[in-house]
Amino acid sequence: MSDNNNQQKKGPKLPPKKATLPPGGPKKAKLPGKGPKLPPGMNAGGDGASGLTRKDFETDQDVRWCPGCGDYAILATVQRLLPELDVIKENIVFISGIGCSSRFPYYMKTYGMHSIHGRAPAVATGLKASRPELDVWIITGDGDSLSIGGNHLMHILRRNLNVQLLLFNNQIYGLTKGQYSPTSEVGKVTKSTPYGSIDHPFNPVAVALGADASFVARTMDRDPKHMKSILKRAHDHHGAAFCEIYQNCNIFNDGAFFEYTEKSSKPARALFVENGKPLVFNKGTEGIRLDGFTPEVVNLENGQWSADDCVVYDETSRELAGIVGRMFWQEGLPRPFGVFYSESRPTYEDLLHKQVQGVIEKRGKGDLEKLLKAGDTWVVD
């Protein structure tokens, strides 16, 4: 994998890495009682049939992220999405681990839990197993979920609990002040890697596909319209919906994703995947075709190739998802965003309660007191 500097030499000229505000971020330190601004194009009204508005999901807590952090845009988008969902507010739960992203439950006027490092999936599993009717969202970061929490992430995806799992990826440890993370690029100089990271980084989408997740997607903080549509798709999915969100940390890793998110470079570097449509990008001037199993960029303006020669995406194909999801390491290829894979299969809690009901029908409901007193017991005189 090449580092960002090599990519910048070969790709379009990237915008300068300066601290700019993401959609939804405040222009100055937030005052108590005020929420982050709405992303562009979103007004304060016009919510769904629930009769709720974004304000119904805002708390009175001071939002304590750095001014300009991409987390503001994600928070604003989620708060705007929830009123449009056909979900009772009292049934919504946000569970997080540890990290900047994991402050999220404090800022949502719903039930929630700020759990321990990497264990949000374990807490969510217990909750969904006991209360399957609840609408559970897991909020995590690249360090929280892919380092200490990697095991828990892998198992909740393969088990396919009906949850939405949002992974905020900023390629850095922000809360602990700028150490490299499992997604930091090779050569990353940080406080914990003063001579540059030698670790091969994770591609979160490939990790989720490898764990047999039934829904895998990627979006970005600086495109709230796309982010909202992806989160809506994730919520509509019955099963474990994994969404990686590129999120700018303007303090410790500013500009990590600018080549994919900024207007000057986004068309040539970001590929938006849509089911049933050919893989074209850069305002329709370039596309992706397969040479065997290898994706390659083709020019759609010189007359040699057309959109008909490009791959027509099928989000139900795990094989195609694997190829496109791993368009990550190769120089010259754009970075894909959208829904990579969606599969309908039974959820863990559905199977669990079906199994329990089957045992009850076969053996009776049971008696807890009788069970506790069965076998060897101690009598205290």
Is residue 210 domain-resident?
yes
For residue 39, CA distances in Å to 117, 223, 274, 283 come to 30, 9, 23, 23
pLDDT at 25 over 80: no
Q: Do 305 and 232 lie in a common domain?
A: no
Q: Do 223 and 299 lie in a common domain?
A: no
Is residue 370 domain-resident?
no
- Per the listing, tokens 């222009």 go with 27
Q: What percent of the chain has pLDDT over 70?
A: 87
Range of the domain at 292: 278-311
Q: Do 261 and 289 lie in a common domain?
A: no
| pLDDT value at residue 113 | 96
C-alpha to C-alpha distance for 362 and 280, rounded to whole angstroms: 56
Is residue 264 domain-resident?
yes
Q: Do 238 and 122 lie in a common domain?
A: yes
Q: Do 246 and 334 lie in a common domain?
A: yes
pLDDT at 9 over 50: no
C-alpha to C-alpha distance for 326 and 336, rounded to whole angstroms: 9
Is residue 365 domain-resident?
no
Q: Do 220 and 341 lie in a common domain?
A: yes
C-alpha to C-alpha distance for 330 and 239, rounded to whole angstroms: 31
Q: Do 84 and 217 lie in a common domain?
A: yes
Q: Do 260 and 137 lie in a common domain?
A: yes
Is residue 378 domain-resident?
no
Count of domains for the chain: 2
Q: Which of 254, 287, 311 finishes a domain?
A: 311
Is residue 354 domain-resident?
no
C-alpha to C-alpha distance for 159 and 364, rounded to whole angstroms: 27
Q: Do 307 and 253 lie in a common domain?
A: no
* pLDDT digits 0-9 by tens, 70-104: 999 999 999 999 999 989 999 999 999 999 999 99
Contacts 24+ apart (CB under 8 A), 102-106: 102/139, 102/140, 102/141, 102/144, 103/63, 103/64, 103/65, 103/71, 104/71, 104/75, 104/139, 105/139, 106/59, 106/61
Q: Do 215 and 138 lie in a common domain?
A: yes
Is residue 163 domain-resident?
yes
| pLDDT value at residue 43 | 39
Q: What percent of the chain has pLDDT over 90?
A: 80
* pLDDT digits 0-9 by tens, 130-172: 999 999 999 999 999 999 999 999 999 999 999 999 999 999 9
Q: Residue 26's pLDDT band (boundaries 50, 70, 90)?
A: very low
- Strand pairing partners for 92? 135
C-alpha to C-alpha distance for 51 and 248, rounded to whole angstroms: 33
Mean pLDDT on 31-40? 40
Is residue 371 domain-resident?
no
| Four-point Cα dihedral 178, 184, 188, 193, nearest 10 | 60
Q: Do 11 and 139 lie in a common domain?
A: yes
User: Taking CA 128 as the corner, what is the angle to CA 217 and CA 84, rounded to the nearest 5 degrees?
Assistant: 55
Model confidence, pTM: 0.85
CATH number at 208 reads 3.40.50.970
Q: Do 113 and 46 lie in a common domain?
A: yes
